[in-house]
Amino acid sequence: MKIRINKKLILGAVLLSAIVFGSLAYSHCQIPCGIYDDEARFNMIAEHITTVEKSMKLIESLSAQQKPNMNQVVRWVNNKDKHADEISHIVTYYFMAQRVKLPAKGNTKAFNEYVTKLTLLHQMLVYSMKTKQTTDLENVDKLRSLSDEFHKVHFGKVG
């Protein structure tokens, strides 16, 4: 009986740990593994932006109903905020922390590219935050535009 309770307790603790710590796991670590798929991250950002946009439209639509279903409105607000957070996570933990490299001292060209990339990424963070604050679709458009611009700069396709 005592062993059976201990096994259940241990199993419960393992499951609880998996749930709690599993939600903290992200798609990429910060060790120098050398396994990067930048294009996949841009696709993820684009998908999150589209989801934020859809959420905003549904929030507006549901809120305008004669008798709004507030449960659904709240669910779409939470969805919008979650996806905006995912964009911020990719921008900070993937691009800023791992992919945008510090320039060598004295290399003016590399420094200017570095500043351009950081500026675009910071602007993406700001507009990601703004999508959480409102349902203004202009913030989504700006975020999408900044992502496209950063994509070009990141892959050296600036003409």
pLDDT higher than 70, residue 123: yes
pLDDT in tens, 8-21: 666 666 655 555 55
Query: How far is 131 from 80, CA to CA, in rounded Å?
Result: 8
- Position 84 pLDDT exceeds 90: yes
The correct answer on CATH 1.20.120.400 for the domain covering 31-154 is: yes
Q: Which two tokens stand for residue 13?
A: 């603790």
Domain positions in the chain are 31-154
- Report pLDDT digits (tens) over 24-43: 444 456 666 667 899 999 99
Q: What is the pTM of this model?
A: 0.79
Determine the Cα–Cα distance for residues 135 and 80; give it in Å rounded to an integer: 9
What's 99's DSSP letter?
Answer: I
Sequence letter at residue 44: M
